[in-house]
Chains A and B, each alone.
Chain A
Amino acid sequence: MKIEERHEGPVVVLSIEGRLDHAGSEIFDAHVTKLIAAGEQKLVVDFHRVGFVASMGIRALIKPYQALAPRGGKVAVANLGDSVRSIFQLAGIDQAVPIYESVDAAVAALS
């Protein structure tokens, strides 16, 4: 799991590469927990280079949503492949963590 981080105005864009399985989700969770502790409120996660997501990965996205929503923060995802998208939809989290076709669209929506 590799995570690249960049800032676009008030939004932090995390481009992740690898698998959001048990091991990958722990790395992602630790990274995001630090960002939130540092005061970041708007996160966009780019799934372009993610070929696999398990339930642990869904948990790792709901957790920051639950932390940020009460203070007006947001989490969104972009560039989902078909299989990954169906996991999001079956888990029913696309209402809380909206899906965008591109990082630009997600950043624009959160800015």
Chain B
Amino acid sequence: MPELSLAMGNDFADLGPTSTRVRNFLGVCNAPDAASFLADLVIEELVTNTIKYGYDDAGAHEIDLRIAFEDGRLLIEVRDDGRAFNPLEQAAPDTTLPAEQRDIGGLGIHLVRQMTDSVVYERRDGRNVVRAEKTFPIG
């Protein structure tokens, strides 16, 4: 399975260049536009959460990404060395509430869950590992 591994810092400025590299890789794999969009979304939401809430110090950390695509199947893995945190335990936002009363917390992970086939979290070797998968129709 063709695979891209890359590392980024815990810095919002790294998100743009990371997105470009991921989209370029998926373009080479002839992945559909929807797969590129989804990879972008998953990385943006998970990494934003990690940068904002994941660390007890203000130092530099590395966030590792792995993206693979073959036969319509997209896999995205995000690993960080922040404090143990399972984003899947976050309560889903009530998207049926009138927008006046809406609290936006948890929306990012809600979107990731809704748009993928599966999202799995594990704490492995002192790191948070989140793996998301989605299969797209080939045609």
Query: What residues make up the interface of A, taking CB atoms closer than 8 Å to B?
Result: 19, 21-23, 51-52, 54-56, 58-59, 62, 65-66, 69, 82-83, 86-87, 90-93, 95-97
Q: Which of B38, B45, B107, B114 has the most CB of A within 10 A?
A: B107
Chain A neighbourhood of B37, CB < 8 A: 51-52, 83
Q: Are the C-beta atoms of A22 and B15 separated by less than 8 Å? A: yes
| Chain A residues with CB below 8 A from B96, complex form | 92
* A21-B15, A23-B12, A52-B37 known; A58+B107 contact, CB < 8 A: yes
Residue of A nearest to B99 (CB): A96
Which residues from 22 to 40 on chain B have a C-beta closer than 8 Å to any C-beta of chain A? 33-34, 37-38, 40
Docked complex Cα distance between A48 and B99 (Å): 24
Q: Tell me what chain A mostly uses at the interface: helix, strand, loop, or mixed.
A: helix
With both chains docked as a complex, state the minimum distance between the C-beta of A7 and any C-beta of chain B, in angstroms: 25
Given A23-B12, A59-B104, residue A54 in contact with residue B48 (CB < 8 A) = yes
**What are 13 residue pairs bridging A and B, where the CB atoms are less than 8 Å apart in the complex?**
A21-B16, A22-B44, A22-B48, A51-B37, A52-B41, A54-B48, A55-B108, A56-B108, A66-B99, A66-B100, A90-B111, A92-B95, A97-B99
Residues of B contacting A90 with CB < 8 Å? 95, 110-111, 114-115
Q: Is the CB of B104 within 8 A of A58?
A: yes
Inter-chain contact A23/B16, CB cutoff 8 Å: yes
* A73 to B104 CA separation, bound complex (whole angstroms): 21
